[in-house]
Each structure stands twice: as structure tokens, then as C-alpha cells.
């Protein structure tokens, strides 16, 4: 088979490129190894199903039976992902110039790939190839972890059965904290064990402390500066041996979730056959235009070692699209003020610098910080009954421009986008402070919070 563009892996960047290039009249082949992954990680196993579960968990009230609630939540999650998967499949299948191919791809040359599906083999040649194979959960070397069916990763834990009474989570990063909050709300007793001496080392201490207090209020326990030595599968439960602070303790758990980061999916791609290099962490090496050293071969999404967010994979597609049908100017260097959100209840979102980083930069910094419960002119949290958190905004006193912001509050995943746009567009703190915002809303907090800059 010969096509203009071959996309390997149905990730966010790849699927968006396939559709866009197909509509441009290019012939495109999209190769995906698993029917269960049509549409990629985000809609099937990552962002969407986990946020659906976070939402369902937060809706549970003390009288609701944990197991029944969890079973119903998982059924709802499965229904949602099935619908999204079908829609994603249809969106590409509807484009005449796009051919969908089930199978696993490997390079046989710089512009040639072999796809295997069972005993069937197909060779595909393309001038342009986009690698979008994503990442899979990292598997740390913990004795006993791989032998137990009760040790899960972020994908398999979504169908754990029954709901674990005691869940031990190894890793307190994005996945660990989101699942800690979720399972605590479903009714599990959760313990988070992390290597780091501090929770959320990249956040200000007051923010990390507020996150810890929120999760502890839901019953989550933290064991930090800790190393999981061994997991033993006993008939009744798992015994997890953890070293921390010079002591060794055994924890009993019904399930363990390993959430210690992700590993690039290059296994079996035979990148060497194409002359494509990986870095020391195994990610495909690309330049700021996402080009590998092989002309016409690009890597988008998690696999290129950039920040692991769906919206980054989406933005990667814009860069490659510009290479293939535009002026080729767009690059990773154009990214300014990229926000992020940890989907706790309420969520924690950040853009730009935190206070520690701003002060370390040596510049003068004005800070406005207020606990959500103390923001009088923001009734929305009180209306929905969720008043945890704080908002902190950092401003350059010379320019009145926003240096960074942390929003730990209901609607944080929305409000942070406004602050990110303000940073990109050079909107001043005064304009935000004096902005006319809807009421009651979360945005209006900016009126009061920014009035307290000092």
C-alpha cells in the first residue's frame, strides 16, 4: 500500500492530523494496534474515563452503598467510553481518503512500515509518517508486584472488582492523587506512598499543604520519603513492605495501584530500521518542529518526550499540519503559558510560575492569595457546597502582567484558561481585577483576590 501520510497510533495528535489531512485530499493510513483504543488513551483509559469516575465518586453521599455506587459508576464510564470510541471511529471512517488499519506497526525502512494483525502482514509506504504511539504505565522493580493480580495500573484499576476496602497507591503524582481522591470518595481507605520527601514538590508549600489537608480530610494517608520494598500476595490480602524514615512497616491492602509515571511505547517499533533515535529515557528525539532526523517522519504526543497532556498532543498536530500543508513556521517554542490541572475535588490548576519560582527568579513580585472560603465576592463555592482551596496570583509590579497563577477551587480547570489567555495576550492584573464578570461565577473571584495584591 502506498499513501501520502501514515499515522501510527490513534492518539489525539495523530487522529486530528489524519482527519485534517484527509480533508485536504491527502491519502492517509491510520494504524492502530487495538480496537479497544480507537480514539487513543484519552477517551478510552485516561482523561475522560478517570474524570467521569472522579465526578461519580464525588457525587456519592455517606448513605450510598460504596460497592453499588462504584459498580454503577464503572458501568457509566464504560457506556461513555464506548460511545466516544464509536464516534471517534466514525469521524475518521467518514473521510474517504483515510484508510483505517487494525494492526501493530514496525519500521522496515525510513519510509516503510510493516503492519501485522495475527498472521496477516501489510507493507505501507509513505512520504510522511507520524508516530503517535503514546506511553504505557511504568513498571517499577518492586519484588512481588508482577506476580499479583491484585496489583493494578491506572488502566486496570478502573475495573477493579470488588471495590477495594483498603487501597495502597504507589506514587503521588497526577495519577496517584487523582485516584486517591476518587477512591477515597468511593469509600476505600487510601494510603499514598511516594519516594519524594514532599508531596507535590513542584507546587508552593502552602498549596501542597492545602492539597494534603483536603485529601487527609477524605481519609487519605500519606507515607512520604518512602520506598516500597516488597508486595506479598497472601490469601486474604496483600502485605506491602514500605521503608521510610529509617523504619520498615507492613501495610495491608486489598489492592495496590502503581502510579509511578509512564514509559514511551517504542517496543517493537524497530525505530533502528528507520534511523530514528530515542533519548536516554526512551522518548523519540525531535526538534521544535517535531521532526525526527528522517525527512518527513514526525513524532507527536507523549512519545516525543514533551509534557504528557492531551492538549499538548493536540497542539503537536498543529505543528505537523503546518509542516505538511502550511508554512512550516509553527513550533513548540510558540507555546506560552501552558496550564495544567490535577483533577482533585476541587481541582488544582496552575499556569506560569508559582511563588517559589517567581521569587527565585530575582524579580520583584506582588502576590495576591486568598482562601476560597474567605472570598466574600465569590458565592459560587458556597452555593455548590465546596469551599476548599485557595487562589494565588503573582504579578510583576513593573508591568502589571501576570507571572503565574494557582487556582485550587471548583471550576479551577476553567478559570485557569482565562488566566492563561491573559498571560498570552498581555492582559494586566488591573484589567482582570476590574473586569465585569458574570455572577455568581468562579471568575468573579479575580475582582476580590487581585484587589489584595501586595
Ligand X SMILES: NC(=O)c1ccc[n+]([C@@H]2O[C@H](COP(=O)([O-])OP(=O)(O)OC[C@H]3O[C@@H](n4cnc5c(N)ncnc54)[C@H](O)[C@@H]3O)[C@@H](O)[C@H]2O)c1
Q: Which is nearer to ligand X, 126 or 284 (CB)?
A: 284
Across the beta sheet with 189-193, the strand order is: 151-152, 255-258, 166-170, 189-193, 221-223
Q: Annotate 217-270 with DSSP letters as a single string.
A: HTT-EEE-SEEEEEEEE-SSSEEEEEEETTEEEEEEESEEEE-S-EEE--TT--
Tell whether residue 112 is among the known ligand binding residues: no
Residue 87 to residue 41: CA distance in whole angstroms: 15
Minimum gap (Å) between residue 305 Cβ and ligand FAD: 11
Tell whether residue 174 is among the known ligand binding residues: yes
Q: Which is nearer to ligand X, 91 or 224 (CB)?
A: 224
99 contacts ligand X (rule: CB under 6 A) = no
Tell whether residue 176 is among the known ligand binding residues: yes
Annotation says 159 is catalytic: no
Contacted by 32, from ligand X, ligand FAD, none: CB < 5 to 8 Å by type: ligand FAD
130 contacts ligand X (rule: CB under 6 A) = no
Contacted by 444, from ligand X, ligand FAD, none: CB < 5 to 8 Å by type: none
Could you tell me which residues come within 8 angstroms of residue 324 by beta carbon, excluding any fewer than 6 positions away?
Answer: 5, 21, 26, 128
176 contacts ligand X (rule: CB under 6 A) = yes
173 contacts ligand X (rule: CB under 6 A) = yes
| Closest of 352, 351, 354, 408 to residue 381, by C-alpha | 408
Residue 246 grid coordinates: 529509617
Q: Which is nearer to ligand FAD, 110 or 440 (CB)?
A: 110
Note whether 449 and 375 are within 8 A (CB).
Answer: yes
Residue 59 to residue 66: CA distance in whole angstroms: 11
Q: Which is nearer to ligand X, 42 or 453 (CB)?
A: 42
Please report, as residue ranges, which positions from 302 to 361 form the binding site for ligand X (by CB under 6 A): 308-309, 340-343
Distances (CA, A) of 158 to 153, 320, 371: 9, 33, 33
Please report, as residue ranges, which positions from 189 to 248 form the binding site for ligand X (by CB under 6 A): 193-196, 228
172 contacts ligand X (rule: CB under 6 A) = yes
Of 86-94, 173-181, 236-244, 375-383, the segment contacting ligand X by CB under 6 A is 173-181
Residue 188 to residue 380: CA distance in whole angstroms: 29
Tell whether residue 178 is among the known ligand binding residues: yes
Q: Map 152-180 to HEC letters.
A: ECCCHHHHCCCCCCEEEEECCCHHHHHHH
Annotated binding site for NAD(+): 171-178, 261
Binding residues for ligand X, per CB under 6 A?
A: 140, 170-176, 178, 193-196, 228, 259-262, 308-309, 340-343
Active site residues: 439
Annotated binding site for FAD: 51, 302
Amino acid at each position: 500500500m502506498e499513501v501520502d501520510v501514515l499515522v501510527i497510533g490513534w492518539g489525539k495528535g495523530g487522529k486530528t492530523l489524519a482527519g485534517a489531512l484527509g480533508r485536504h485530499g491527502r491519502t492517509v493510513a491510520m494504524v492502530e494496534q487495538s480496537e479497544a483504543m480507537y480514539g487513543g488513551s484519552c477517551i478510552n483509559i485516561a482523561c475522560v474515563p478517570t474524570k467521569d469516575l472522579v465526578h461519580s465518586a464525588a457525587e456519592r453521599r455517606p448513605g450510598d452503598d460504596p460497592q453499588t455506587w462504584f459498580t454503577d459508576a464503572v458501568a457509566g464510564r464504560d457506556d461513555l467510553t464506548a460511545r466516544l470510541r464509536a464516534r471517534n471511529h466514525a469521524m475518521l471512517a467518514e473521510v474517504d481518503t483515510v484508510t483505517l488499519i487494525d494492526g501493530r506497526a514496525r519500521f522496515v525502512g525510513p519510509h516503510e512500515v510493516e503492519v501485522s494483525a495475527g498472521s496477516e502482514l501489510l507493507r505501507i509506504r509513505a512520504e510522511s509518517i507520524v508516530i503517535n504511539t503514546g506511553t504505557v504505565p511504568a513498571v517499577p522493580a518492586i519484588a512481588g508486584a508482577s506476580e499479583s493480580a491484585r496489583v493494578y495500573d491506572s488502566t486496570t484499576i478502573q475495573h477493579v472488582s470488588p471495590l477495594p476496602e483498603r487501597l495502597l497507591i504507589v506514587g503521588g503524582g497526577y495519577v496517584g492523587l487523582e485516584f486517591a481522591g476518587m477512591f477515597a470518595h468511593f469509600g476505600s481507605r487510601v494510603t499514598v506512598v511516594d519516594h519524594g520527601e514532599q508531596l507535590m514538590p513542584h507546587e508552593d508549600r502552602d498549596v501542597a499543604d492545602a492539597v494534603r489537608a483536603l485529601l487527609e480530610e477524605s481519609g487519605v494517608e500519606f507515607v512520604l520519603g518512602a520506598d516500597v520494598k516488597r508486595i506479598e500476595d497472601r490469601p486474604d490480602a496483600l502485605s506491602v513492605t514500605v521503608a521510610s524514615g529509617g523504619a520498615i512497616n507492613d501495610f495491608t491492602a486489598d489492592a495496590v495501584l502503581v502510579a509511578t509515571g509512564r514509559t514511551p511505547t517504542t517496543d517493537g517499533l524497530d525505530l533502528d530500521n528507520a534511523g530514528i533515535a530515542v533519548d536516554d529515557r526512551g522518548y523519540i528525539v525531535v526538534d521544535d518542529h517535531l521532526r525526527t532526523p528522517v525527512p518527513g517522519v514526525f513524532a507527536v504526543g507523549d512519545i516525543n518526550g514533551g509534557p504528557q497532556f492531551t492538549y499538548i498532543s493536540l497542539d503537536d498536530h498543529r505543528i505537523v499540519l503546518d509542516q505538511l500543508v502550511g508554512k512550516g513556521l509553527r513550533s513548540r517554542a510558540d507555546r506560552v503559558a501552558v496550564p495544567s490541572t490535577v483533577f482533585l475535588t476541587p481541582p488544582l490548576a496552575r499556569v506560569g510560575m508559582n511563588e517559589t519560582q517567581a521569587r527565585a527568579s530575582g524579580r520583584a513580585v506582588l502576590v495576591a492569595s486568598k482562601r476560597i472560603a474567605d472570598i466574600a465576592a465569590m458565592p459560587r463555592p458556597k452555593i455548590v457546597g465546596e469551599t476548599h482551596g485557595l487562589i494565588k496570583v503573582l504579578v510583576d509590579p513593573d508591568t502589571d502582567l501576570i507571572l503565574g497563577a494557582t487556582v485550587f477551587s471548583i471550576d479551577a480547570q476553567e478559570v485557569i484558561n482565562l488566566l492563561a489567555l491573559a498571560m498570552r495576550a498581555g492582559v494586566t492584573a488591573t484589567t482582570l481585577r476590574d473586569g465585569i464578570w458574570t455572577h455568581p461565577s468562579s471568575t468573579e473571584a479575580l475582582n476580590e483576590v487581585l484587589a489584595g495584591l501586595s
